[in-house]
């Protein structure tokens, strides 16, 4: 059935997007376009409930509510994937921040312990 192909394709695309490195800006744009499409579809299905059922039968799903459920599953998966990515990125930033603090503190206590010798090579610039 058509719906099975559509759902499997959607799930595979999501899985791929999670693994693939996101090109931040275009990724954001795609997400926003999808969200826009989602809003339009939602409004339409409120105004014309038959429309949803019509699409559902067209692609091999019995009722509009079933189609809605499937769409919801896909949307949840997308949400998990994006949240996971955002979380990884967030953690990376926290790590860099914490590392900078740790190194600054260590340098400070070192130069206090050896007042004759200033911190070995002075404050260093950016970190990798």
Partner 1 sequence: MPDAESWVVIPLYNEATVIGDVIAGLLPSFPNVVCVDDGSSDGSAAIAEAAGARVVRHPVNLGQGAALQTGIEYALEHPSARYLVTFDADGQHRVDDAVGMVRRAREADLSIVFGSRFLDDRTNPGLIKRVILKTAVWVTNKSTGLRLTDAHNGLRVIRRDAAERVHLKQDRMAHATEIVLQLGNTGLAWQEYPVELLYTDYSKAKGQSVLNSINILVDLVVR
Contact pick of 115, 125, 126, 128 for partner 1 (by CB under 8 A): 128
- With beta carbons less than 8 A apart as the criterion, state whether 64 and 55 touch: yes
Contact pick of 24, 50, 116, 127 for partner 1 (by CB under 8 A): 127
CA distances from 89 to 31, 35, 93, 94 (A): 17, 22, 7, 9
3-class SS of residue 115: coil
Question: Using CB under 8 A, which residues numbered 46 to 75 contact partner 1?
Answer: none
Question: What is the rounded CA–CA span in Å between residue 8 and residue 66?
Answer: 16
Question: What is the rounded CA–CA span in Å between residue 19 and residue 13?
Answer: 10
- With beta carbons less than 8 A apart as the criterion, state whether 6 and 60 touch: no
Nearer to partner 1, 50 or 117 (CB): 117
83 binds partner 1 (CB under 8 A): no
Closest CB 18 distance from partner 1, rounded Å: 6
Nearer to partner 1, 32 or 100 (CB): 100
Question: Can you give the binding site for partner 1, defined by CB under 8 A?
Answer: 18-19, 21, 84, 88, 91-92, 94-95, 98-99, 101-103, 105-107, 110, 120-121, 124, 127-128
């Amino acid at each position: 059935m058509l719906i099975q192909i559509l759902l499997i394709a959607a799930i595979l695309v999501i899985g791929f997007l999670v693994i693939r490195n996101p090109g931040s800006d275009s990724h954001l744009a795609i997400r926003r376009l999808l969200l826009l499409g989602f809003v339009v579809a939602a409004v339409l299905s409120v105004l014309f409930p038959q429309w949803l059922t019509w699409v559902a039968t067209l692609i091999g799903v019995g009722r509009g509510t079933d189609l809605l459920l499937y769409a919801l599953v896909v949307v949840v998966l997308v949400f998990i994937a994006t949240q996971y990515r955002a979380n990884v990125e967030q953690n990376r930033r926290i790590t860099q921040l914490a590392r900078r603090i740790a190194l600054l503190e260590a340098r400070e206590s070192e130069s206090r312990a050896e007042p004759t010798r200033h911190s070995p090579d002075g404050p260093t610039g950016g970190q990798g």
